[in-house]
Chain A
Amino acid sequence: EPEVTQTPSHQVTQMGQEVILRCVPISNHLYFYWYRQILGQKVEFLVSFYNNEISEKSEIFDDQFSVERPDGSNFTLKIRSTKLEDSAMYFCASTRQLEPHYNSPLHFGNGTRLTVT
Chain B
Amino acid sequence: QQQVKQSPQSLIVQKGGISIINCAYENTAFDYFPWYQQFPGKGPALLIAIRPDVSEKKEGRFTISFNKSAKQFSLHIMDSQPGDSATYFCAASALSGGSYIPTFGRGTSLIVHP
Contacts and interface: CB of A to CB of B under 8 A. Distances in A.
A110 B41 contact: yes
Contacts of B102: 45, 106
Contacts of B95: 101
Nearest to A89: B43
A58 to B, nearest CB: 8
A84 interface: no
Interface residues on B, range: 20 to 34
Contact of B100 (A91, A101, A110): A101
B114 interface: no
A45 B103 contact: yes
B46 A56 contact: no
Nearest to B94: A101
Given A43-B104, A44-B104, A108 B97 contact: no
Main secondary structure on B side of the interface with A = strand
B89 A42 contact: yes
Main secondary structure on A side of the interface with B = strand
B17 to A, nearest CB: 24
Interface in A1-44: 4, 31, 33, 35, 41-44
Given A56-B96, A102-B32, A102-B51, A109 B101 contact: no
Interface string B86-107: 0001000101111111111111
Contacts of A101: 32, 93, 95, 100
Interface of A: 4, 31, 33, 35, 41-45, 48, 50, 55-56, 91, 93, 98, 101-102, 105-111
14 contacts: A4-B43, A41-B107, A45-B102, A48-B97, A55-B98, A91-B43, A98-B99, A101-B32, A101-B100, A102-B49, A105-B34, A106-B46, A108-B43, A111-B43
